[in-house]
Structure 1
């Protein structure tokens, strides 16, 4: 330990007040400025902030938002769950349900923390005593020991000795910790179970009353060689008497055809660009007029504007044909060492014509069948019975699962051999483990900034300077680490999204669920576990060795570190909620990239893509929200808990309205996951509950209340049992449609057994009679590789 290095009491709230005030000022400056800019730009830039409302038919039923500065907020608040389902689908409903559940849960916990736990903590933990005015009960470290009738508790460089009788008298408040550990665990499980039942009811009602080609189609994998044809698969399934087969699409090795279609798109874009250059580009002023419609237009006026935009998009390019024709350089000869310039339009047009002839011929060829097929049944019950049954006694053969939507399929991966997909999956998994070790370096460095003693060991002058400048010290020790960690949470998902797409999954829905899993692993392990348990790089190896020798020390170390990082995580949640969520509403990335993309746009296709709604990816936003949920639970009982619960509640309130606006009005989500993210959310919340119980057991044990600590331990196996119970009881209903939930097409209130449905729908929810969002999306679609049929 460096000389002149003083430790601070982590349970004393006054130690972090300066840091929290500085972080609050920084977050307010960021958040308020972003929110004000959004409110100014929203009515003026509808092509971005109302892109989904303008382009998606499913959003027509949503109310128009007023153009006033704050007038849009009450209208957004009044949008019902039924309207969310109708316009954004089940995935959006499930995502927002998590935020609503968290608001209710943490609202109750915050009230209890303020009314009960805060007075208890103030009386027993913060109360000054002679000899130690800051803290009467220093936290025990891993070297706690009993000697000669006294209890020696080591914390940092100090050793404090107390009489055991006095210690036993003072730790009676820890029984309140035990009681509230049980109560908050039960409360969290109650809300989780209640919300799961609501989601199941809505999901079964929603999916049971619609009829899409996806709802009637199974994905059949592991098909043996003797069955790899449409007729044989149809004959096999109909012999099982599950139902009639309407259509079979055997996936074949279309690699060569797909490559030609990709090349065709490349040539087509080059030809369009050459033609646009020849006709002349519009000025930026004309472009702004086209892409920024009248903010007061709606209804028929908006449709007329859209038509006018399309006319402008085409006609504004027309100039005199006397312009010189563009050229392109081509390379030829031995090793392509010779080159010459040719007419670009003629060159790409001829290349496109020749390639089209090859594609027409390629579509007529027969390709080798793969072990994968999409089978469309004549009814939804037949499909559900097929996917919920074992079709073949051989392992890994004729496995049936629900098919993804046709537009969701990654056709290039359908003809990848299973072995290739497995190799890709394991390779990327190993790579992510290596990345996890790599992330330890920057995370440990950031953790070092939280400790002035560590800074003094590395840079004594900086530590001395920070001691004399409290505001700069708060910015360096708290503001900088929280900002960098938050930026990592924004940047790392892009990398994991790329890696998930490289794994060879069949559908984009599976990719997105994989991104959620990968990003949560990063945020939970690197931002919470490593940051909390190991701290600085200098402590990493000793702590790891101690943990491997005695796993119980992990609980002690976790409990000891959690308290010291309370201010950091308070500031982290503060920055996420007040500072960064308004930037998500502003869509800062799209706004900053728009001028660059605008300057690079030349063709009508470029302009059309420029005004498409941005994609909303749950894997980018959900893991951070789950981490904050876990932090709120872990700190809920501790002295700083009321503060973390307050800012956590604030995060989920702001997040609910931010993401509600984006999902309904600004951003699109084309995947067809039908709410399957909910079990993933619940399992990760249960991990958080397990950490909460482990921390409380370690914390109570550190204060020598071993009986109370031992009584916390049964909660851990109970939580594990509940996860298995959840998997057996509720998870199947989040993956399949119960046969009794399926409605007759001529009467949506009667199921296939001619019985009235007894589903208790959530308050305010009524099944809409028009077509669902999925039915609109899949109208006219078939399970056919687009390379075979696209014009």
Structure 2
């Protein structure tokens, strides 16, 4: 039995281990080379840039890997207060409700055990110490000084047991009170989270399983017919599910080949004089040496044909369609009725349930039939039962180490080794808990596999089921196994040498003696183990190994980050075990409670830090795991009460023991009450609430196209690249899929539904055509071909549909959060083509910038179900004073026009986003200098203007009305501050990676003089003009004003070859065209959008004039770059120009002038 000295040694070792882990973490997280390991959450959000491309390194390669700023090491513990700064509401917004509620479990532990520990230490420990009964048992049992602090030290029949019973009641009442408050709070948070969220596709969708096969009809046809007849008023459509396992393997293989091709192309770009080569043999180790780029392209083209063939086979083979479908309804009410009712007389057919959110679906289990589910669950239950008892053997061995004195009597030859003081203290105080931890480490993976075999559809359900199995396992093996097995080993000699009537008394006295083992377990698992969690040693090692041997591109580096998640299958059972230990031993051995409190407090701090900076949850279950947590804590209460009953029965406390009988009954009543009061909020969706939300939505958005919104939400991964090929929208015309597709064979094999794919790049395996036709096609970023006219004539989708698309911010050229350029995101979509045109736009919010770019893109808004490449401000967004565009968004049209949409200038919503509570900006604009938000907002517009004027062929300067000249003033400032910046073709080749640049002098050395005076061709567009403002005289007056305003600017000196002699504007029914002024300024005006519907309009409509703008802009000549440059070279050099803009001494000096002017906060 471990003594106080052994516990002290264990505490010293674990505290030292925890401190070493924390110290290592504090140092490692400051190193730039480890930044992606300890802050991956911010990289995923796009708000953090790799230190590899930091501009503050001044060319020092060492600083890219090692932090040489020794002042930062003085504040190496500042991560602790930083982890506590973010509020709960901010955590919900940042990481989701699941993460916030998970943290509340640790707070609940502190709230429960804090007062209990104080009361137990002040009351129970003095009572236990005064008992003195173990003094008389020292010759019979192996005991320690810690046992004198437990209930075992109370004499039989003592009236002091009334104190323990009173404490048991008080502890139970307090625990139930805190559980009730927490359940009420979490239920409120869940309902509020659901109510405040925008519409979710899973609110309108039901998953139906075990669809019966009908002769002569496909599964898809059967689903469509069943729901059309059973739910005629609310059924919208369905998505069939395909078995695509082989297809997935081909996709992963293609992605690997594409990754090698990207790597070899980047390698060739860095060293154009030498083309990369490889050997054709196994892993490139032997065989004929060939050109690596051409070989990879040939392999990809060959694989594309195989993929296209496999895709066609899947779509045509009726066996590939699984008896499962995702059925969508036009209202939440219709979905709720279907999901929560029985659909068929046969209860084993047409099984419906709420569909998980799309990212939560575990696709492999969708094909499991109902009968197989029952068999699987039975087999897994038997397997889990066997696994629990199989693990009793190593658990028994581990517990035998906890009492070396007992082993000495059985194996005397070990005594010389065991009696060594250091070895003895180490074995008893540290090794048992560590060995048990190792045994338990591999269990979650095994239990998750068993849960998957059971056939659950959602990843969140799989994790909760695995967590439940793990809890039962820990309850039986770690808790009960430790007590029973440990007691049997310890008391074996005593049992064999005393009468049978004394055995119950010995067991009752010995159970509390296992507290010493659990104290060591808590210190190993809850102290050192939690500290090792924040160190992330395994991800750290794996990341650097991948970085050395596997990572070839920036995309590989992002994959290697492995942020992980909270890991509910492992953390929830461990948490519940600590609740069990604290509740059970709060009355029996209260000295254990301080160790529990240290665990909850330390773990709360660590996991808060990890959730904020590291973890990236795979799904959002809206705290669906909370009822399980609540029930486990109630079970802990019941277990503690029954154990206390059994213990007191051995103490012959006949007077006090019956008083405990009422306590389990009251606890069960409390559990039933909470279950009926709160659990429905986690299990059902009220019909009343569904109807209310539907009515509110119809009132606020009467023209919502719900079918287009739900069309592709649950598209099977067969139609996606399983790795990196991102898709904007995949539209499924479900209503037409079974009517207009003729049968292709006599056995009525199903024809595929009518899918129209809009992908970022033309990918052969997503097209029905052969791969050869697509291999030579240029990549089109967000290219959206027109739909055929045989689809339903629905209204245009609501702009809010963009919220369901893949996160387009991940393709932003410029991140609005970090103000850094990310060329790796869009570089794969650009080619070596030199015949391209770059068009940028700049202007205030809500004046139609994105609409103009959509027209230049060639977007057809009349096609149903298609979404614009650039987001358009909706009524809801406008009412909430928010902007749509952030940073710089890049799209490429079919004509190879690179379009750059920027965040609005002079925008209150942008200012609100970057403003900290102290009035300073959240982002750094000039070499890390802290600026006031107002000044930073001003400089953001200037930097955007200077940057666009340097890299674009055409710059659209958009203003509202004829009287707003704020954008003119901005362009004069841009002209003033653009001194010394080249065009993208005038930079010498750079051998540095990414966008990292050296000092200003180094940049100038890489600039050819021919490009220093370059300026993009400006086109001043004034929108939202009234009908009377469109008269020829008003337009002439506006043109004259523009010419005079810019007469002394660089824009007035611009000359082009083949310059048009007429302004690019066609106005009015008389088709008046104006001569360009002497300044060569281009002016275009657009009427209000409602001009299209105005009966009394005297001039051309908005649509017509917008089309004229597109036609004339595409045909006009503009300021060329100094020399020919490819799309990819343009992008890379633009990144270098952006660094020049950010470090421009002219702009920096202008910033100081603004600061000294007193107009902005200092």
TM-score over 0.5 (shorter chain):
yes
SS at match of 2:544: helix
Q: Which residue of 1 aligns with 2:23?
A: 36
Q: Which residue of 2 aligns with 1:598?
A: 547
Say if 1:506 and 1:683 are closer, same or farther in 2 by CA, change over 3 A: same
Say if 1:363 and 1:789 are closer, same or farther in 2 by CA, change over 3 A: farther
Q: Which residue of 1 aligns with 2:279?
A: 326
Distance 2:502 2:42 in 1: 55
Q: Which residue of 2 aligns with 1:665?
A: 613
Distance 1:522 1:183 in 2: 30
Say if 1:169 and 1:436 are closer, same or farther in 2 by CA, change over 3 A: closer
Deviation at 1:590, TM superposition (A): 0.8
Q: Which residue of 2 aligns with 1:218?
A: 206
Deviation at 1:538, TM superposition (A): 6.0
Q: Which residue of 2 aligns with 1:614?
A: 564
Higher helix share: 1
- Pairwise CA RMSD: 3.9
Is the contact made by 1:489 and 1:624 (CA closer than 8 Å) also made in structure 2? no
Q: Which moved more, 1:209-218 or 1:627-636?
A: 209-218
Pairing 1:513–2:500 present:
no
Say if 1:155 and 1:322 are closer, same or farther in 2 by CA, change over 3 A: closer
Distance 2:16 2:601 in 1: 19
Distance 1:648 1:261 in 2: 47
Counterpart of 1:195 (choices 148, 160, 182) is: 182
Pairing 1:656–2:604 present:
yes
Matches within 5 A, 1:285-684: 320-329=273-282, 345=296, 348-362=299-313, 364-365=315-316, 367-368=318-319, 369-463=321-415, 465-467=417-419, 469-535=420-486, 559-604=508-553, 605-638=555-588, 640-641=589-590, 643-684=591-632
SS at match of 2:236: strand
SS at match of 2:316: coil
Q: Which residue of 2 aligns with 1:783?
A: 714
Deviation at 1:403, TM superposition (A): 0.9
Distance 1:346 1:237 in 2: 47
Q: Which residue of 2 aligns with 1:309?
A: none
Q: Which moved more, 1:524-533 or 1:381-390?
A: 381-390
Deviation at 1:27, TM superposition (A): 0.7
Is the contact made by 1:441 and 1:537 (CA closer than 8 Å) also made in structure 2? no
Distance 2:353 2:172 in 1: 35
Deviation at 1:556, TM superposition (A): 7.5
Say if 1:79 and 1:726 are closer, same or farther in 2 by CA, change over 3 A: same
Is the contact made by 1:208 and 1:737 (CA closer than 8 Å) also made in structure 2? no
Deviation at 1:28, TM superposition (A): 1.1
SS at match of 1:476: helix
Q: Which residue of 1 aligns with 2:108?
A: 101
Pairing 1:694–2:642 present:
yes
Is the contact made by 1:31 and 1:582 (CA closer than 8 Å) also made in structure 2? yes
Deviation at 1:739, TM superposition (A): 4.5
Pairing 1:245–2:245 present:
no
Is the contact made by 2:142 and 2:490 (CA closer than 8 Å) also made in structure 1? no
Say if 1:154 and 1:462 are closer, same or farther in 2 by CA, change over 3 A: closer
The alignment's TM-score, normalised by the length of structure 2, stands at 0.53
Pairing 1:184–2:171 present:
yes
Is the contact made by 2:406 and 2:490 (CA closer than 8 Å) also made in structure 1? no
Matches within 5 A, 1:124-273: 125=131, 127=132, 135=135, 138=137, 171-210=158-197, 211-225=199-213, 229=219, 233=223, 236-237=226-227, 244-251=234-241, 254-255=242-243, 257-270=244-257, 272-273=259-260
Q: How many aligned positions are there?
A: 665
Say if 1:555 and 1:59 are closer, same or farther in 2 by CA, change over 3 A: farther
Distance 2:494 2:612 in 1: 47
Say if 1:746 and 1:522 are closer, same or farther in 2 by CA, change over 3 A: closer
1:565-603 Cα deviation digits (max 9, x unpaired): 111111211222322211101112111322322233143
Say if 1:541 and 1:731 are closer, same or farther in 2 by CA, change over 3 A: farther
Q: Which residue of 1 aligns with 2:38?
A: 49
Deviation at 1:702, TM superposition (A): 1.5
Say if 1:372 and 1:241 are closer, same or farther in 2 by CA, change over 3 A: closer
Distance 2:102 2:609 in 1: 13
The alignment's TM-score, normalised by the length of structure 1, stands at 0.76
Distance 2:203 2:575 in 1: 31
Matches within 5 A, 1:1-40: 16-40=3-27
Distance 2:17 2:282 in 1: 49
Q: Which has the larger radius of gyration?
A: 2
Is the contact made by 2:37 and 2:543 (CA closer than 8 Å) also made in structure 1? no
1:82-137 Cα deviation digits (max 9, x unpaired): 112112112112211211111100111011112221222222x2x4xxxx7x536x
Distance 2:493 2:467 in 1: 32
Distance 1:212 1:536 in 2: 54
Deviation at 1:662, TM superposition (A): 1.2
Say if 1:324 and 1:692 are closer, same or farther in 2 by CA, change over 3 A: same
SS at match of 2:714: coil
1:234-254 Cα deviation digits (max 9, x unpaired): 565566669612331233xx3
Distance 2:47 2:208 in 1: 31
Distance 1:388 1:717 in 2: 33
Q: With CA pairs under 8 Å and 6+ residues apart, which has the higher RCO, 1 or 2?
A: 1
Deviation at 1:199, TM superposition (A): 0.7
Which segments of 5 or more consecutive residues in structure 2 lack a partner in the other structure?
Answer: 50-71, 144-153, 701-708, 722-765, 767-1162
Distance 1:680 1:592 in 2: 35
Q: Which residue of 2 aligns with 1:122?
A: 129
Deviation at 1:541, TM superposition (A): 12
Deviation at 1:26, TM superposition (A): 0.5
Counterpart of 1:76 (choices 83, 94, 117) is: 83
Q: Which moved more, 1:571-580 or 1:384-393?
A: 384-393
Distance 1:704 1:319 in 2: 91
SS at match of 1:325: strand
SS at match of 1:182: helix
Is the contact made by 1:177 and 1:696 (CA closer than 8 Å) also made in structure 2? no
Deviation at 1:35, TM superposition (A): 0.7
SS at match of 2:238: strand
Distance 1:558 1:752 in 2: 68
Is the contact made by 1:573 and 1:644 (CA closer than 8 Å) also made in structure 2? no
SS at match of 1:249: strand
Is the contact made by 2:324 and 2:366 (CA closer than 8 Å) also made in structure 1? yes
Is the contact made by 1:218 and 1:403 (CA closer than 8 Å) also made in structure 2? yes
Q: Which moved more, 1:365-374 or 1:682-691?
A: 365-374
Distance 2:489 2:94 in 1: 52
Say if 1:192 and 1:235 are closer, same or farther in 2 by CA, change over 3 A: farther
Q: Which residue of 1 aligns with 2:117?
A: 110
Distance 2:142 2:159 in 1: 25
Deviation at 1:634, TM superposition (A): 0.7
1:324-369 Cα deviation digits (max 9, x unpaired): 3331249xxxxxxxx9768663663354132133134235425345
